[in-house]
Structure 1
Amino acid sequence: MILRFAGFELDQQHAELRGPDGAPVKLRPKTFEMLRLLVANPGRVLSKQELMEAVWPDIHVGEDSLFQCIREIRSALGDDRRQTIKLASGGGYIFTADVAAAADVPAPSPDVDPSETATAAGLDLGSPSPAQPATVPARSSWLPALGGRMAVIAVAGLCAIVGLAAAAPLLRSDLIFKRTPPVVAVMALTDASDDPIGPMMATEIAGRLTDGFARINTISVIAPRPAAAQPEQAAAPAASPDFEIRGELQRSGPSWTLRTRLIQTATGKVEAVAVISVDADERDPRLQQTRLAAGVGDVLARRLNELTEAGTSPADLSARAGGAKVAIEQATASINSVTQERFGMAQTMLQNALAEQPDNVDAAVALAALQMRGIQMVWYNPDAAAAAEAQAAANLERALRAKPNSIAVLETYCRFLSATNRFVESLVICARTLSLDPWDGLALYLVGLGQLHLGRFEDALATFQQADRYDTPAVSRWTWLLGVGWAYMMMDRADDALPWLQRSIAITAASGRPYLLLAATYQRAGQTEEAKAAIQKGLKLRPGTTALNVAPPMKNTSPVYREAAGRIVQLMVDAGLPAQ
């Protein structure tokens, strides 16, 4: 079947796009598939999630993969003004060109219904509308063929059931149907760089910001109209934004610096300021653009989430004041560096605050995060650990019911599910977190962990690398660097793993486990002396560690994961880790 539009031909049978001159236009397979979906659905908004699930079925990828395909399609079609593929308000893309379908369908045999043959070819035998020469196939025409895919469909159905169960606290009808989503306008960035590529950089970064905010499903996004808009476009009414995002791009010596502001349009109040700098000598301008957009986008998305999720009732305002606020601030400030001695004191403070204000969501989340830290550091005895886990789960589920769209709540619940080996559920909640802040590096890291434990090593590698491209927040950089190295080791690629682990440890040695993984990597690469030295550093940071207490978790993990992890533990033993 061939789809014709704007002088182009998209040959689905041969997976080829041909230009107006008839010459093939080279596209990557994923880019071609995305173009095919858009052309097959002209005039209909395809959500970004819909596109990603269709092009990357059963694989989690970051939105940068989607945006790269869109950029490649626009470049191939000469759509520099973004008029053929438009970003739709509220998220998603719409293909605006007129499409005509044509096919050379063989005559059906006498015992075959003609409609079945037409359907197999992707055609609709109904009468075409006057404005369209032939009906373009509906979404079902690009769904995978049933043959050989029934297992995938069954698994997808199971995941949907699990996802709905895990996300049940999020589906509060009053929040979904009654709250009007705020409208956010991403304005064109001002280029103050005096650099020849400054205007291009500013335009690309603004586009990435717009695409990112359009993925947030609790807001609607509008972008400025092109200066050369057609008269009929200029006359169309535009939504009045509740917030505007404005910014300036500068080139200061060896760095690009982007300064942005989130402004409440009704009052002119600046609700948030975000500033990010990247190395101007980086050879990949796309990486510079991605990190600049992600660096400010993460800050502004979180602030926007706080503004839209914060309660204003007297009970809510009271819950955020007084002693509970002090307890939360003190516990949160030291949650990653708290010692065992201070841990008990912080837990008591938060428990008392929650007893005084049972509906205080912030206190419940802070206590759950602290208890996770205690479980991970083995600061509880087995019975106390089980009780703390149950209390943390109850507090987080209650917090989710109260604030189902809060990034802080979802992020903490995602961490909790990952820490308690509920990996399938963690993927659901982490995905929800990313739907509110697509640049959330911690959520991406936790998605990668879930994929690792479920045996999806290549998916995990892609997720960790996506987090590295965003690099937000930079304080968590060591985690996804470690994740990339870990994923490579699970695939038995020690040479690839080594530089990532070294970069991670250069930032922080964490609890000593990274040195143990580094030792296994050295051992696998044949650098035995370096392996022994790394084991000794790991044991110094984590005394009493043996092969028994670094053994891979068994609960809810894939046999593929357990086999690969067991191989890594044996490499640690070969490098000098005590067996027991």
Structure 2
Amino acid sequence: MDLTRELLLDGRGDIVPLRPQAWSVLRLLATRAGQLVGKGEILDEVWSDCEVTEDSLVQAIGDVRRALGEAGRTALRTLPRRGYMLAINGEPIDDADLPIAAAPASDPEASIPSAVPHLSIVVLPFANLGDNPEQEYFVDGVTDSLTTDLSRIAGAFVIGRNTAFTFKGKAVDAREIGRELNVRYVLEGSVQRASNRFRLNVQLTDTATGGQVWAERFDKAAADLLDMQDEIVSRLANTLSAELIKAEARRAERSLRPDAMDLYFQGRAILNKGITPAVMAQARGFFMRALALDPDHIEAAVAAAHVDFAIGSSSMADDGPARFRAAENALNRVLLRAPNHPRAHMLLGAVQIRTNRAAKGIAECRQALALDRNLADAHGFIGLGKHALGRGAEVEGHIQEALRLSPRDTRAFLWFTIVGMAKLMLTNADLEALDWLRGSIEANPNFALAHFHLAGALAMMGDLKEARSIAEAGLALDPDFTICRYEVSALFLSDNPAWLARRERLYEGMRMAGLPDG
């Protein structure tokens, strides 16, 4: 008899479907009812053949709580930073006592496959198109490292290396692999050395359709293999993160009944479009709907805090200080539940930097990088912190490191703006500042503050015609912007008198460009 993964709630008669991982978590806790089961033990037991973050466990716990309903609030207990315990009348129960709904194999419903996890992927061993054994180690190392690094993407489910390497050297069909491993995506690649250059080709395939989602080619001069491997993996991981979020958002748009994870991915895809009041409102709407469906959804909570931080940082509203407080409180709550969440640490550091605690914020961003070396945005925020500390000459180096890790990053426009602002604070660097600020608008025209910065800089240098044109374009994105609000926001970044005095020149340029005072 084949058992479906369904929970029969005693007394209600309701049959509640559970995803395979949530069912396995519940089963494990039931066999140890009344006892604490550590997070590590649950991850090792339930996800033994793949690499995932604690987010997958939190999502599974949320599924179990929703399935148990009101009983779940008292029966399933969280012991912060330690693990979980199933307490039923205070007494341990045997696995056999779990109420389940059995479905015979002849039942049509029993043959329906379990849902494929969101953002689930297998990285197949990359092909070595050369005969050099040293290159073989390099190619396998890229596959290994990429498997590990992709598992750090929020909400990702990545098939483990040992399973993936059983396909090494074999001709494969993406759709068959999708069915066999229950994943949505297959990543394949090859490495070829020609003279003193390496060429790496990669492609991401949708296992449901067999269609190509994304493909890329990287050419790089041959250097130290280990250093090159780290850089290639970082670039791939960052690019794939954005592409997978877009792909998951497109899937979610087609869903008639989107779940919390679907809504989260839709919000993230919108958040990547730029920073305008309309974009922020739309993204926040998705994250709040996700949290309404699943109050324990860590990624949606972090993303909602990101929206509050972005609104406060971009002078979009008069309640900037309240936005920063809300973001900080939310991120601290997340870190109590998931103390090793890289993006939560990074955003907490960003809030601290934007609220005149730059040294503390830089340390928080460095902790985020220790947890996820590919978190290019953390380098960007460290650059912002150096700007706030009046160490503008150091800023560009941090932004260049971010660009090395993620040259096509969806948030690169923000990094360009940070360098542009730092250059404006330096002596004899105005032309460089213009180049960086123009680069920000080219990278993403949907960031009003970059227009306002550029308009002020151009006016300072005497080009009033272009300054006014740029200012108008910015006001089309954020018509409620005022210089007064922007000045108040700057006070939260730094209260250094010399730093603030240098910014007065920019405010005067903004006025000359026609931006409203207040």
From 418, 421, 425, give the equivalent of 1:490: 425
Superposition map of 1:531-550 within 5 A: 531-550=467-486
1:504 correspondence with 2:504: no
Cα distance, 1:341 vs structure 2 = 7.2
Letter in 1 for 2:271: I
The residue aligned with 1:335 is 271
SS in structure 2 at match of 1:397: helix
Q: CA deviation at 1:396?
A: 1.6
How far apart, CA to CA, are the structure 2 residues paired with 1:205 and 1:459? 35
Match of residue 461 from structure 1: 396
Taking a change above 3 Å as real, the CA distance of residues 323 and 399 of structure 1, as seen in their structure-2 partners, is same
User: 5 Å matches for 1:22-61?
Assistant: none
- Of the candidates 252, 274, 277, which is equivalent to residue 217 of structure 2? 277
Q: Which runs of 5+ in 1 are unaligned?
A: 1-171, 176-185, 219-239, 262-272, 304-320
Give the Cα separation in 1 of the matches to 2:435 and 2:332.
40
d(CA) in 2 for partners of 1:408, 1:460: 21
2:200 matched to 1:257? Answer: yes
Residues 560 and 211 of structure 1: CA distance in aligned 2, closer, same or farther (over 3 Å): farther
Distance 1:373 1:187, change over 3 A: closer
Write the distance in 1 (CA, Å) between the matches of 2:402 and 2:394.
13
| Aligned-partner SS, 2:371 | coil
SS in 2 for 1:248: strand
- After superposition, residues 535-574 of structure 1 pair within 5 angstroms as 535-551=471-487, 553-555=490-492, 557=494, 558-574=496-512
Match of 1:295 among 225, 235, 245: 235
Shift of 1:420: 4.6
| TM-aligned CA deviation for residue 547 of structure 1 | 3.4
Matched, 1:248 2:190: yes
Q: Does residue 393 in structure 1 map to residue 328 in structure 2?
A: yes
CA displacement 1:121-141 (0-9 Å, x = unmatched)? xxxxxxxxxxxxxxxxxxxxx
Aligned match of 1:363 in 300, 305, 308?
A: 300
Instruction: Indicate the larger mover: 198-207 or 526-535.
Output: 198-207
Determine if contact 2:374/2:405 at 8 Å carries over to the other structure: yes
* Distance of 2:490 and 2:403 partners within structure 1: 26
1:513 aligns to what SS in structure 2? helix
- Which letter does structure 2 place at the counterpart of 1:360? H
Shift of 1:435: 1.3
Relative to structure 1, the CA distance from residue 374 to residue 535 in structure 2 (aligned partners, 3 Å threshold; closer, same or farther) is: closer
C-alpha deviations, 1:264-316, integer Å up to 9, x for none? xxxxxxxxx99653466x9999999885343125468999xxxxxxxxxxxxx
**Structure 2 CA distance, aligned partners of 1:462 and 1:424?**
17
SS of 1:395's partner is: helix
Return the match for 1:325 from 261, 277, 281.
261
Letter in 1 for 2:449: R
Determine the structure 1 residue equivalent to 2:453.
Answer: 517
Q: How many residues align?
A: 342
Q: Is the 8 A contact 1:440 1:472 kept in 2?
A: no
Match of 1:277, as an amino acid? Answer: R
State whether residues 258 and 292 of structure 1, in contact with CA within 8 Å, keep that contact through their aligned partners in structure 2. Answer: no
SS in 1 for 2:485: coil
Structure 2 Cα separation of the partners of residues 341 and 483 of structure 1:
23
- Secondary structure of the corresponding residue to residue 474 of structure 1: coil
- Does the Cα contact within 8 Å between 2:238 and 2:409 map onto a contact in 1? no
Query: d(CA) in 1 for partners of 2:236 and 2:341?
Result: 19
CA distance in 1, matches of 2:447, 2:352: 21
Aligned-pair distance for 1:453?
1.1
User: 1:564 & 1:241 partners in 2: Cα distance?
Assistant: 57
CA offsets 1:418-476 (integer angstroms, 9 cap, x no match): 45554333212211121122232211111111111121212212111222222355222
Distance 1:507 1:366, change over 3 A: closer
Query: What is the rounded CA distance, in whole Å, between the counterparts of 1:561 and 1:208 in structure 2?
Result: 45
1:519 Cα deviation after fit: 3.0
Deviation of 1:553 (Å):
1.4
- The DSSP-based 3-state class of the residue aligned with 2:190 is strand
Determine if contact 1:298/1:472 at 8 Å carries over to the other structure: no
Q: Which has the higher helix share?
A: 2
Distance 2:468 2:372 in 1: 42
* Stretch of structure 1 that moved more, 490-499 or 362-371: 362-371
Distance 2:316 2:285 in 1: 14
CA shift digits 1:230-254 (9 cap, x unpaired): xxxxxxxxxx9899899632479x9
> What code does the residue aligned with 2:338 have?
K
Q: C-alpha separation between the residues in 1 aligned to 2:283 and 2:415?
A: 28
Deviations 1:168-201 (A, max 9, x none): xxxx9869xxxxxxxxxx999865379xxx9999
* Residue in structure 2 matched with residue 446 of structure 1 by the alignment: 381
The amino acid across from 2:398 in the alignment is T
SS at match of 1:249: strand
For residues 222 and 430 of structure 2, the distance between their equivalents in structure 1, rounded to whole angstroms, comes to 26
The two structures have a TM-score, normalised by structure 2, of 0.51
- CA contact 1:488–1:496 (8 Å) conserved in 2: yes
Q: Deviations over 1:345-402 (max 9, x none)?
A: 87577556546644332332233233334545667664xx666554433332121122
State the secondary structure of the residue aligned to 1:549: helix
Amino acid at match of 1:362: E
The separation in 1 between residues aligned to 2:216 and 2:371, in whole angstroms, is 20
Q: Which letter does structure 2 place at the counterpart of 1:248? A: S
5 Å matches for 1:129-140?
none
Distance 1:439 1:354 in 2: 27
Change in 2 beyond 3 A, CA 1:343/1:207: closer
What is the RMSD of the two structures over their aligned residues, measured on CA atoms?
A: 5.1
Give the direction of change, closer, same or farther, for the CA distance of 1:370–1:256 in structure 2 (3 Å limit): same
Residue identity opposite 1:518 in structure 2? L
Confirm or deny: 8 A CA contact 2:81 2:336 kept in the other structure.
no
Distance 1:539 1:302 in 2: 28
Q: Please give the per-residue CA displacement for 1:537-561, whole angstroms capped at 9, x wherever unaligned.
A: 3344443544323326113513343
Query: What displacement does 1:517 show?
Result: 2.3
Indicate how the Cα distance of structure 1 residues 523 and 415 shifts in structure 2: closer, same or farther if over 3 A, else same. Answer: same
Task: Determine if contact 1:276/1:292 at 8 Å carries over to the other structure.
Answer: no
For 1:432, the equivalent position in structure 2 comes to 367
User: Whole-Å Cα distance in 1 between the matches of residues 259 and 127 of structure 2?
Assistant: 44
**Aligned CA distance change for structure 1 residues 527 and 379 (closer, same or farther; 3 Å):** closer
1:498 partner amino acid: L
Equivalences for residues 64-463 of structure 1 within 5 A: 192=129, 248-250=190-192, 256-259=199-202, 276-278=216-218, 292-298=232-238, 323-335=259-271, 350-351=287-288, 354=291, 357-376=294-313, 382=319, 389-463=324-398
What TM-score results when the alignment is normalised by the length of structure 1? 0.46
Cα distance between partner residues in 2 of 1:479 and 1:449: 10
Q: Is the 8 A contact 2:141 2:229 kept in 1?
A: no
* Letter aligned with residue 200 of structure 2: T
Task: Confirm or deny: 8 A CA contact 1:520 1:571 kept in the other structure.
Answer: yes
Task: List alignment gaps of at least 5 residues for structure 2.
Answer: 1-79, 84-122, 153-160, 166-186, 205-212, 244-256
Pair 1:394–1:542, CA change in 2 (3 A) = closer
| Other structure's SS at 2:492 match | coil
Give the direction of change, closer, same or farther, for the CA distance of 1:207–1:339 in structure 2 (3 Å limit).
Answer: closer
Letter in structure 1 aligned against 2:455: A
Q: Give the match for residue 93 of structure 2.
A: none
